[in-house]
Amino acid sequence: MKKTFFLLIATLFTVALLSFVSKTNTQPPWPVPDAAKNKVNPLKGDAESLVNGKALYNQHCKSCHGNKGKGDGPKASQLDTECGDFTKPAFQSQTDGSLYYKTSVGRKDMPSYKTKIPEANDIWAIVNYMRTFK
């Protein structure tokens, strides 16, 4: 009986540990085609763009990426991959075109927003809003 209980506890611990390790490992590179990477954001980061971007972010992104872009939204713990931290220099150093591409195309747990947010300028507004997470 004690041996079975010990094996059960060890198994549960191992599963929990593997789950933690898989989420805390860094993500593999997310290649962005040069044409997408070099796209220029047609919107200025003005007040109107930021208000629109914030509203869209709150509707579509906040549940995973969190209020402040730290990847700590209420749904983040349910994902197989980490959401990333928009406040980090590695994120902020990406081009607007890269952020637009990743938001539009998605991968793994990150859904594609091509159809959910069909207006290109709305995705560009979200990119502008993500720039405020410094």
* Angle of CA points 38, 52, 122, to nearest 5°: 40
Query: Does pLDDT of 19 surpass 90?
Result: no
Q: Summarize pLDDT for 21-79 with one digit per residue, the tens.
A: 444 446 789 999 999 999 999 999 999 999 999 999 999 999 999 999 999 999 999 99
Which helix H or strand E contains 115, and what residues bound it? none
Q: What are phi and psi of 107, to 5 degrees?
A: -170, 150
3-state SS, residue 26? coil
Distances, alpha carbon 89 to alpha carbons 13, 25, 110, in Å: 34, 18, 20
Give the pLDDT confidence score for residue 8 in this predicted structure: 45
Mean per-residue pLDDT over the chain, rounded: 87
Res 89 pLDDT > 70:
yes
Q: Using CA atoms, how far apart are residues 98 and 40, in angstroms rounded to an integer?
A: 10
In this prediction, residue 27 carries a pLDDT of 72
CB 111 within 8 A of CB 53: no
* Per-residue confidence band for 17, with pLDDT thresholds at 50, 70 and 90: very low
Residue 13 has pLDDT above 90, yes or no: no
Q: Which domains does the chain have, with CATH numbers?
A: 37-130 (1.10.760.10)
Assign 95 a pLDDT band (cuts: 50, 70, 90): very high
Cα(76)–Cα(66) distance, integer angstroms:
8
CB 99 within 8 A of CB 130: yes
Least confident of 12-16, 87-91, 115-119: 12-16
pLDDT at 117 over 80: yes
